[in-house]
Structure 1
Amino acid sequence: MAKELDCRKMECPAPVLETKKSLENEALSQIRVLVDNDAAVENVSRFLTYAGFEVGVESDGTMSVVEGTRDQAAAIKLAAGSAGRSGSGIESSAKESPAKIMVMAASSKFGVGDDDLGAKLMINFIKTLKEMGTDLWRLVFVNHGVTFATVDSAVLDELHELEASGVTILVCGTCLTHLDLMEKKAIGQTTNMLDIVTAMQLADKVINL
Protein backbone atom coordinates (compact mmCIF):
# COMPACT_ATOMS: atom_id res chain seq x y z
CA MET A 1 0.00 0.00 0.00
CA ALA A 2 1.29 3.45 -0.93
CA LYS A 3 0.42 6.95 0.22
CA GLU A 4 1.45 10.53 -0.47
CA LEU A 5 1.38 13.29 2.17
CA ASP A 6 1.55 16.97 1.32
CA CYS A 7 3.33 18.54 4.29
CA ARG A 8 4.44 21.71 2.56
CA LYS A 9 3.99 24.94 4.53
CA MET A 10 4.07 22.90 7.75
CA GLU A 11 6.58 23.80 10.43
CA CYS A 12 8.47 21.20 12.45
CA PRO A 13 7.36 18.88 14.01
CA ALA A 14 4.11 18.71 12.00
CA PRO A 15 5.54 16.76 9.00
CA VAL A 16 6.95 14.05 11.25
CA LEU A 17 3.72 13.83 13.27
CA GLU A 18 1.65 13.50 10.08
CA THR A 19 3.98 10.78 8.81
CA LYS A 20 3.83 8.95 12.14
CA LYS A 21 0.02 9.11 12.14
CA SER A 22 -0.17 7.60 8.65
CA LEU A 23 2.12 4.72 9.57
CA GLU A 24 0.10 3.98 12.70
CA ASN A 25 -3.19 3.90 10.81
CA GLU A 26 -2.13 1.98 7.71
CA ALA A 27 0.27 -0.83 6.80
CA LEU A 28 2.16 1.21 4.23
CA SER A 29 4.93 -0.25 2.09
CA GLN A 30 5.54 3.02 0.25
CA ILE A 31 5.12 6.61 1.36
CA ARG A 32 5.96 9.94 -0.27
CA VAL A 33 6.15 13.03 1.93
CA LEU A 34 6.24 16.45 0.26
CA VAL A 35 8.05 19.08 2.34
CA ASP A 36 9.56 22.50 1.73
CA ASN A 37 12.28 22.93 4.34
CA ASP A 38 15.53 21.17 5.21
CA ALA A 39 14.57 20.43 8.82
CA ALA A 40 11.52 18.49 7.67
CA VAL A 41 13.58 16.54 5.14
CA GLU A 42 16.02 15.45 7.83
CA ASN A 43 13.40 14.67 10.47
CA VAL A 44 11.06 12.73 8.18
CA SER A 45 13.98 10.81 6.66
CA ARG A 46 15.27 9.80 10.08
CA PHE A 47 11.83 8.73 11.26
CA LEU A 48 11.17 6.63 8.15
CA THR A 49 14.59 4.98 8.44
CA TYR A 50 13.80 3.98 12.01
CA ALA A 51 10.44 2.61 10.85
CA GLY A 52 12.22 0.22 8.48
CA PHE A 53 12.04 2.11 5.20
CA GLU A 54 14.67 2.54 2.55
CA VAL A 55 14.69 6.32 2.16
CA GLY A 56 15.46 8.53 -0.80
CA VAL A 57 15.14 12.28 -1.26
CA GLU A 58 14.52 14.28 -4.42
CA SER A 59 14.64 18.07 -4.36
CA ASP A 60 14.24 20.88 -6.89
CA GLY A 61 15.55 23.53 -4.53
CA THR A 62 12.08 24.60 -3.43
CA MET A 63 10.23 21.39 -2.70
CA SER A 64 11.59 18.04 -1.58
CA VAL A 65 10.06 14.60 -1.78
CA VAL A 66 11.08 12.14 0.91
CA GLU A 67 10.19 8.68 -0.34
CA GLY A 68 10.29 5.55 1.76
CA THR A 69 9.81 1.95 0.63
CA ARG A 70 9.76 -1.28 2.59
CA ASP A 71 8.63 -4.89 2.22
CA GLN A 72 4.85 -5.30 2.57
CA ALA A 73 5.22 -8.10 5.09
CA ALA A 74 7.47 -5.92 7.23
CA ALA A 75 4.96 -3.09 6.90
CA ILE A 76 2.16 -5.24 8.32
CA LYS A 77 4.35 -6.51 11.15
CA LEU A 78 5.61 -3.06 12.14
CA ALA A 79 2.16 -1.49 11.91
CA ALA A 80 0.82 -4.15 14.26
CA GLY A 81 3.52 -3.28 16.77
CA SER A 82 3.21 0.48 16.45
CA ALA A 83 1.04 0.71 19.55
CA GLY A 84 4.11 -0.17 21.59
CA ARG A 85 6.01 2.84 20.34
CA SER A 86 5.95 6.45 21.38
CA GLY A 87 7.49 9.77 20.38
CA SER A 88 9.66 9.70 17.27
CA GLY A 89 10.29 5.97 17.43
CA ILE A 90 11.58 5.02 20.87
CA GLU A 91 10.28 1.70 22.15
CA SER A 92 8.17 2.07 25.27
CA SER A 93 9.01 -0.11 28.24
CA ALA A 94 6.19 -2.08 29.84
CA LYS A 95 4.64 -0.34 32.81
CA GLU A 96 1.90 -1.29 35.20
CA SER A 97 0.80 2.36 35.22
CA PRO A 98 2.01 5.50 33.46
CA ALA A 99 4.37 7.91 35.18
CA LYS A 100 2.88 11.19 36.36
CA ILE A 101 4.85 13.88 34.58
CA MET A 102 4.13 17.53 35.22
CA VAL A 103 5.29 20.15 32.73
CA MET A 104 5.45 23.73 33.99
CA ALA A 105 5.74 26.48 31.37
CA ALA A 106 6.84 29.76 32.96
CA SER A 107 7.54 31.64 29.75
CA SER A 108 6.16 32.25 26.29
CA LYS A 109 9.65 31.50 24.93
CA PHE A 110 11.88 28.43 25.02
CA GLY A 111 15.44 29.13 26.16
CA VAL A 112 17.36 32.39 25.96
CA GLY A 113 18.82 34.30 23.03
CA ASP A 114 16.73 35.05 19.96
CA ASP A 115 13.20 35.87 21.19
CA ASP A 116 11.49 35.06 17.88
CA LEU A 117 13.20 31.68 17.73
CA GLY A 118 12.38 31.04 21.38
CA ALA A 119 8.69 31.76 20.77
CA LYS A 120 8.59 29.36 17.79
CA LEU A 121 10.36 26.64 19.76
CA MET A 122 7.91 26.93 22.66
CA ILE A 123 4.94 26.64 20.31
CA ASN A 124 6.49 23.59 18.65
CA PHE A 125 7.21 22.06 22.07
CA ILE A 126 3.60 22.40 23.21
CA LYS A 127 2.32 21.01 19.92
CA THR A 128 4.52 17.96 20.43
CA LEU A 129 3.56 17.30 24.07
CA LYS A 130 0.86 14.83 23.06
CA GLU A 131 3.62 12.45 22.00
CA MET A 132 4.28 11.86 25.72
CA GLY A 133 1.02 9.92 25.76
CA THR A 134 -0.46 8.95 29.11
CA ASP A 135 2.72 9.94 30.99
CA LEU A 136 1.75 13.61 30.70
CA TRP A 137 -0.33 14.27 33.81
CA ARG A 138 -0.37 18.02 34.47
CA LEU A 139 0.43 21.00 32.28
CA VAL A 140 0.89 24.17 34.34
CA PHE A 141 1.18 27.69 32.97
CA VAL A 142 2.67 30.47 35.10
CA ASN A 143 4.11 33.94 34.43
CA HIS A 144 3.97 34.76 30.70
CA GLY A 145 3.32 31.11 29.95
CA VAL A 146 -0.36 31.81 30.75
CA THR A 147 -0.68 33.54 27.37
CA PHE A 148 -0.89 30.07 25.79
CA ALA A 149 -4.18 29.48 27.64
CA THR A 150 -5.90 32.56 26.20
CA VAL A 151 -8.17 33.08 23.22
CA ASP A 152 -5.24 34.38 21.15
CA SER A 153 -3.08 31.30 21.74
CA ALA A 154 -1.40 29.66 18.75
CA VAL A 155 -1.71 26.27 20.45
CA LEU A 156 -5.29 26.42 21.73
CA ASP A 157 -6.43 23.49 19.57
CA GLU A 158 -3.56 21.34 20.83
CA LEU A 159 -4.36 22.24 24.43
CA HIS A 160 -8.01 21.27 23.94
CA GLU A 161 -6.81 17.95 22.54
CA LEU A 162 -4.58 17.37 25.56
CA GLU A 163 -7.36 18.26 27.97
CA ALA A 164 -9.76 15.92 26.19
CA SER A 165 -7.22 13.11 26.55
CA GLY A 166 -7.19 13.53 30.33
CA VAL A 167 -4.33 15.98 30.91
CA THR A 168 -5.14 18.53 33.62
CA ILE A 169 -4.23 22.07 32.59
CA LEU A 170 -3.64 24.57 35.39
CA VAL A 171 -3.34 28.30 34.76
CA CYS A 172 -1.96 30.68 37.39
CA GLY A 173 -4.68 33.11 38.47
CA THR A 174 -2.24 35.64 39.90
CA CYS A 175 -0.40 35.71 36.58
CA LEU A 176 -3.60 36.13 34.56
CA THR A 177 -4.65 39.01 36.78
CA HIS A 178 -1.26 40.71 36.65
CA LEU A 179 -1.19 40.53 32.86
CA ASP A 180 -4.86 41.56 32.59
CA LEU A 181 -5.72 38.32 30.81
CA MET A 182 -8.31 36.78 33.12
CA GLU A 183 -11.21 37.54 30.77
CA LYS A 184 -9.27 36.08 27.86
CA LYS A 185 -8.57 32.71 29.48
CA ALA A 186 -9.93 30.05 27.15
CA ILE A 187 -8.84 26.74 28.67
CA GLY A 188 -7.70 25.12 31.89
CA GLN A 189 -8.42 25.56 35.57
CA THR A 190 -7.52 28.86 37.17
CA THR A 191 -5.21 27.88 40.00
CA ASN A 192 -2.99 29.16 42.80
CA MET A 193 0.51 28.46 44.04
CA LEU A 194 -0.66 25.98 46.68
CA ASP A 195 -2.28 23.82 44.03
CA ILE A 196 0.88 24.06 41.92
CA VAL A 197 3.18 23.08 44.79
CA THR A 198 0.88 20.20 45.72
CA ALA A 199 0.92 18.98 42.12
CA MET A 200 4.73 19.11 42.17
CA GLN A 201 4.77 16.93 45.27
CA LEU A 202 2.45 14.37 43.71
CA ALA A 203 4.23 14.22 40.37
CA ASP A 204 6.82 11.55 39.59
CA LYS A 205 8.75 14.08 37.52
CA VAL A 206 8.54 17.83 36.98
CA ILE A 207 9.80 19.43 33.78
CA ASN A 208 10.36 23.17 34.08
CA LEU A 209 10.50 25.39 31.00
Structure 2
Amino acid sequence: MGEVQTVDCRGLSCPQPVLETRKALEESVASQLRILVDNITSRENVKRFASSQGLGVQVREMGADEFELLLERVQDTASPENKPTESQSSPVEQESLNGKNVVYVGNDCMGRGDDELGRKLIRGFLRTLIDVAPVPWKIIFINAGVKLTTLDEEAVEAISVLADRGVEILSCGTCLEHFGLVDRLKVGRVTNMFEVIESLNGATKVISPD
Protein backbone atom coordinates (compact mmCIF):
# COMPACT_ATOMS: atom_id res chain seq x y z
CA MET A 1 0.00 0.00 0.00
CA GLY A 2 1.34 3.45 -0.91
CA GLU A 3 1.28 6.66 1.08
CA VAL A 4 -2.08 7.57 2.63
CA GLN A 5 -3.05 11.16 3.43
CA THR A 6 -5.89 11.86 5.87
CA VAL A 7 -8.26 14.78 5.34
CA ASP A 8 -10.54 15.39 8.32
CA CYS A 9 -13.76 17.02 7.09
CA ARG A 10 -15.80 16.36 10.23
CA GLY A 11 -17.71 19.43 11.35
CA LEU A 12 -17.61 21.02 7.89
CA SER A 13 -20.83 21.96 6.12
CA CYS A 14 -21.65 21.56 2.43
CA PRO A 15 -19.79 22.00 0.12
CA GLN A 16 -16.56 22.16 2.16
CA PRO A 17 -15.91 18.37 2.34
CA VAL A 18 -15.95 18.18 -1.47
CA LEU A 19 -13.77 21.28 -1.81
CA GLU A 20 -11.25 19.94 0.72
CA THR A 21 -11.18 16.61 -1.10
CA ARG A 22 -10.57 18.32 -4.43
CA LYS A 23 -7.80 20.46 -2.90
CA ALA A 24 -6.09 17.38 -1.47
CA LEU A 25 -6.29 15.60 -4.84
CA GLU A 26 -4.67 18.57 -6.56
CA GLU A 27 -1.92 19.11 -4.00
CA SER A 28 -1.13 15.63 -2.68
CA VAL A 29 1.12 13.03 -4.29
CA ALA A 30 -0.25 10.30 -2.02
CA SER A 31 -1.66 7.28 -3.82
CA GLN A 32 -4.58 7.16 -1.39
CA LEU A 33 -6.65 9.74 0.46
CA ARG A 34 -8.52 8.97 3.68
CA ILE A 35 -11.47 11.34 4.00
CA LEU A 36 -13.35 11.59 7.31
CA VAL A 37 -16.91 12.98 7.38
CA ASP A 38 -19.66 13.07 9.98
CA ASN A 39 -22.93 12.96 8.05
CA ILE A 40 -24.55 10.93 5.29
CA THR A 41 -24.88 13.88 2.90
CA SER A 42 -21.14 14.60 3.00
CA ARG A 43 -20.40 10.90 2.60
CA GLU A 44 -22.49 10.68 -0.56
CA ASN A 45 -21.19 13.99 -1.96
CA VAL A 46 -17.53 13.05 -1.51
CA LYS A 47 -18.16 9.53 -2.82
CA ARG A 48 -19.88 10.85 -5.95
CA PHE A 49 -17.19 13.49 -6.54
CA ALA A 50 -14.41 10.92 -6.18
CA SER A 51 -16.12 8.55 -8.61
CA SER A 52 -16.52 11.39 -11.11
CA GLN A 53 -12.74 11.90 -10.93
CA GLY A 54 -12.06 8.26 -11.76
CA LEU A 55 -11.00 7.30 -8.24
CA GLY A 56 -11.63 4.00 -6.52
CA VAL A 57 -13.82 4.52 -3.43
CA GLN A 58 -14.23 2.39 -0.31
CA VAL A 59 -16.57 3.51 2.48
CA ARG A 60 -16.39 2.36 6.09
CA GLU A 61 -18.77 3.34 8.88
CA MET A 62 -16.77 4.38 11.94
CA GLY A 63 -19.66 5.07 14.30
CA ALA A 64 -22.93 6.94 14.51
CA ASP A 65 -22.94 9.23 11.46
CA GLU A 66 -19.15 9.04 11.09
CA PHE A 67 -17.61 7.62 7.94
CA GLU A 68 -14.20 6.98 6.43
CA LEU A 69 -13.81 7.13 2.66
CA LEU A 70 -10.63 5.66 1.21
CA LEU A 71 -9.96 7.14 -2.22
CA GLU A 72 -7.41 5.51 -4.50
CA ARG A 73 -6.00 6.84 -7.74
CA VAL A 74 -6.58 4.33 -10.53
CA GLN A 75 -5.48 4.26 -14.15
CA ASP A 76 -8.02 4.62 -16.94
CA THR A 77 -7.99 1.17 -18.51
CA ALA A 78 -11.00 1.66 -20.75
CA SER A 79 -10.21 0.81 -24.34
CA PRO A 80 -11.42 3.16 -27.10
CA GLU A 81 -14.10 0.70 -28.20
CA ASN A 82 -15.53 0.63 -24.66
CA LYS A 83 -15.75 4.40 -24.29
CA PRO A 84 -19.15 5.99 -25.03
CA THR A 85 -19.63 7.57 -28.42
CA GLU A 86 -22.19 10.10 -29.56
CA SER A 87 -24.28 7.31 -31.07
CA GLN A 88 -24.37 5.59 -27.67
CA SER A 89 -25.50 8.71 -25.83
CA SER A 90 -28.97 8.96 -24.37
CA PRO A 91 -31.47 11.24 -26.16
CA VAL A 92 -31.05 13.95 -23.56
CA GLU A 93 -27.25 13.78 -23.90
CA GLN A 94 -27.47 14.13 -27.68
CA GLU A 95 -29.83 17.09 -27.33
CA SER A 96 -27.45 18.59 -24.79
CA LEU A 97 -24.68 18.66 -27.38
CA ASN A 98 -26.49 21.65 -28.86
CA GLY A 99 -27.42 23.21 -25.53
CA LYS A 100 -27.24 22.25 -21.87
CA ASN A 101 -30.29 23.86 -20.35
CA VAL A 102 -30.57 23.82 -16.56
CA VAL A 103 -33.86 24.45 -14.76
CA TYR A 104 -33.25 26.00 -11.33
CA VAL A 105 -36.19 25.59 -8.94
CA GLY A 106 -35.87 27.57 -5.71
CA ASN A 107 -39.38 27.22 -4.33
CA ASP A 108 -42.35 24.86 -4.25
CA CYS A 109 -44.49 27.65 -5.73
CA MET A 110 -44.31 29.55 -9.01
CA GLY A 111 -44.71 33.29 -8.83
CA ARG A 112 -45.77 35.40 -5.87
CA GLY A 113 -49.14 36.34 -4.44
CA ASP A 114 -51.05 33.14 -3.70
CA ASP A 115 -49.19 30.01 -2.60
CA GLU A 116 -52.00 27.62 -3.52
CA LEU A 117 -52.07 29.02 -7.03
CA GLY A 118 -48.27 28.98 -7.11
CA ARG A 119 -48.19 25.25 -6.34
CA LYS A 120 -50.65 24.56 -9.16
CA LEU A 121 -48.50 26.60 -11.53
CA ILE A 122 -45.23 24.84 -10.64
CA ARG A 123 -46.86 21.42 -11.15
CA GLY A 124 -48.12 22.59 -14.53
CA PHE A 125 -44.67 23.90 -15.39
CA LEU A 126 -43.06 20.53 -14.59
CA ARG A 127 -45.68 18.61 -16.58
CA THR A 128 -45.18 20.93 -19.55
CA LEU A 129 -41.41 20.33 -19.52
CA ILE A 130 -42.17 16.72 -20.49
CA ASP A 131 -43.67 17.83 -23.81
CA VAL A 132 -41.12 20.51 -24.69
CA ALA A 133 -38.05 19.68 -26.77
CA PRO A 134 -35.30 19.57 -25.90
CA VAL A 135 -35.85 18.41 -22.35
CA PRO A 136 -33.50 20.01 -19.79
CA TRP A 137 -30.02 18.70 -19.12
CA LYS A 138 -30.54 19.04 -15.36
CA ILE A 139 -33.19 20.25 -12.93
CA ILE A 140 -31.83 21.58 -9.64
CA PHE A 141 -34.10 21.92 -6.60
CA ILE A 142 -32.97 24.38 -3.91
CA ASN A 143 -34.51 25.66 -0.65
CA ALA A 144 -38.26 24.90 -0.52
CA GLY A 145 -37.98 23.53 -4.04
CA VAL A 146 -36.85 20.22 -2.51
CA LYS A 147 -40.43 19.71 -1.29
CA LEU A 148 -41.30 18.98 -4.93
CA THR A 149 -39.00 15.94 -5.01
CA THR A 150 -40.19 14.67 -1.63
CA LEU A 151 -43.67 15.70 -0.47
CA ASP A 152 -45.64 16.74 -3.56
CA GLU A 153 -46.91 13.55 -5.22
CA GLU A 154 -48.12 15.30 -8.37
CA ALA A 155 -44.77 17.01 -8.82
CA VAL A 156 -42.88 13.78 -8.10
CA GLU A 157 -44.87 12.02 -10.83
CA ALA A 158 -43.94 14.63 -13.45
CA ILE A 159 -40.31 14.80 -12.31
CA SER A 160 -40.06 11.00 -12.47
CA VAL A 161 -41.11 11.05 -16.13
CA LEU A 162 -38.37 13.59 -16.85
CA ALA A 163 -35.86 11.45 -14.96
CA ASP A 164 -36.86 8.44 -17.07
CA ARG A 165 -36.09 10.52 -20.16
CA GLY A 166 -32.55 11.09 -18.95
CA VAL A 167 -32.89 14.43 -17.18
CA GLU A 168 -30.62 14.61 -14.14
CA ILE A 169 -32.65 15.51 -11.04
CA LEU A 170 -30.66 17.12 -8.22
CA SER A 171 -31.90 18.14 -4.76
CA CYS A 172 -29.80 20.26 -2.40
CA GLY A 173 -28.58 18.12 0.51
CA THR A 174 -28.37 21.03 2.96
CA CYS A 175 -31.94 22.00 2.06
CA LEU A 176 -33.21 18.43 2.57
CA GLU A 177 -31.53 18.37 5.98
CA HIS A 178 -33.01 21.75 6.92
CA PHE A 179 -36.56 20.58 6.19
CA GLY A 180 -36.00 17.09 7.66
CA LEU A 181 -36.56 15.44 4.28
CA VAL A 182 -33.30 13.54 3.66
CA ASP A 183 -35.03 10.17 4.01
CA ARG A 184 -38.04 11.20 1.94
CA LEU A 185 -36.38 11.90 -1.40
CA LYS A 186 -38.48 10.11 -4.04
CA VAL A 187 -36.78 11.01 -7.31
CA GLY A 188 -33.25 11.95 -8.34
CA ARG A 189 -30.31 12.27 -6.00
CA VAL A 190 -28.77 14.57 -3.42
CA THR A 191 -26.37 17.28 -4.59
CA ASN A 192 -24.14 19.92 -2.99
CA MET A 193 -23.31 23.56 -3.64
CA PHE A 194 -20.06 22.72 -5.42
CA GLU A 195 -21.92 20.59 -7.98
CA VAL A 196 -24.69 23.18 -8.26
CA ILE A 197 -22.20 25.90 -9.17
CA GLU A 198 -20.41 23.62 -11.65
CA SER A 199 -23.75 22.78 -13.27
CA LEU A 200 -24.75 26.44 -13.55
CA ASN A 201 -21.34 27.37 -14.95
CA GLY A 202 -21.60 24.57 -17.52
CA ALA A 203 -25.13 25.44 -18.59
CA THR A 204 -25.95 27.00 -21.94
CA LYS A 205 -29.04 28.54 -20.39
CA VAL A 206 -30.49 28.66 -16.87
CA ILE A 207 -34.28 28.76 -16.56
CA SER A 208 -35.94 29.62 -13.25
CA PRO A 209 -39.73 29.34 -12.83
CA ASP A 210 -39.70 31.36 -9.59
The 1:99/1:153 distance shift into structure 2, 3 A limit, reads: same
Q: Distance between the aligned counterparts of 1:96 and 1:104, measured in 2? A: 16
Q: Residues 176 and 182 of structure 2 are in contact (CA less than 8 Å); yes or no, is this contact kept in structure 1?
A: yes
| Identity across the alignment (%) | 35
Structure 2 counterpart of 1:150: 150
Structure 1 counterpart of 2:36: none
Structure 1 counterpart of 2:188: 188
For 1:123, what is the secondary structure of its paired residue? helix
The one of the two structures with greater contact order (alpha-carbon pairs below 8 A, sep at least 6) is 2
The 1:184/1:160 distance shift into structure 2, 3 A limit, reads: same
Q: Residues 143 and 175 of structure 2 are in contact (CA less than 8 Å); yes or no, is this contact kept in structure 1?
A: yes
The 1:152/1:121 distance shift into structure 2, 3 A limit, reads: closer
* Deviations, residues 161-185 of structure 1 (Å, cap 9, x unaligned): 1111110000000000000011111
One-letter amino acid of the counterpart of residue 181, structure 1: L
Q: Distance between the aligned counterparts of 2:130 and 2:165, measured in 1? A: 9
Structure 2 counterpart of 1:167: 167
The 1:151/1:144 distance shift into structure 2, 3 A limit, reads: closer
Q: Distance between the aligned counterparts of 2:96 and 2:139, measured in 1? A: 23
CA RMSD of aligned residues (A): 1.8
Q: Residues 135 and 167 of structure 2 are in contact (CA less than 8 Å); yes or no, is this contact kept in structure 1?
A: no
How far the C-alpha of 1:109 sits from its partner, in A, is 0.6
Q: Distance between the aligned counterparts of 2:117 and 2:152, measured in 1? A: 19
Q: Confirm whether residue 200 of structure 1 aligns to residue 173 of structure 2.
A: no
Unaligned runs of 5+ in 1: 1-94
Unaligned runs of 5+ in 2: 1-94
Structure 2 counterpart of 1:101: 101
Q: Distance between the aligned counterparts of 1:203 and 1:155, measured in 2? A: 24
How far the C-alpha of 1:160 sits from its partner, in A, is 1.3
Q: Residues 96 and 137 of structure 2 are in contact (CA less than 8 Å); yes or no, is this contact kept in structure 1?
A: no
Structure 2 counterpart of 1:113: 113
The 1:98/1:132 distance shift into structure 2, 3 A limit, reads: farther
Structure 1 counterpart of 2:122: 122
Q: Residues 143 and 175 of structure 1 are in contact (CA less than 8 Å); yes or no, is this contact kept in structure 2?
A: yes
How far the C-alpha of 1:194 sits from its partner, in A, is 0.6
Q: Residues 100 and 203 of structure 2 are in contact (CA less than 8 Å); yes or no, is this contact kept in structure 1?
A: yes
Q: Residues 108 and 144 of structure 1 are in contact (CA less than 8 Å); yes or no, is this contact kept in structure 2?
A: yes
How far the C-alpha of 1:152 sits from its partner, in A, is 4.2
For 1:190, what is the secondary structure of its paired residue? strand
Q: Distance between the aligned counterparts of 1:110 and 1:96, measured in 2? A: 26
For 1:136, what is the secondary structure of its paired residue? coil
Instruction: Please identify runs of 4+ aligned residues in structure 1 that moved more than 3 A.
Output: 95-98
Q: Distance between the aligned counterparts of 1:96 and 1:196, measured in 2? A: 17
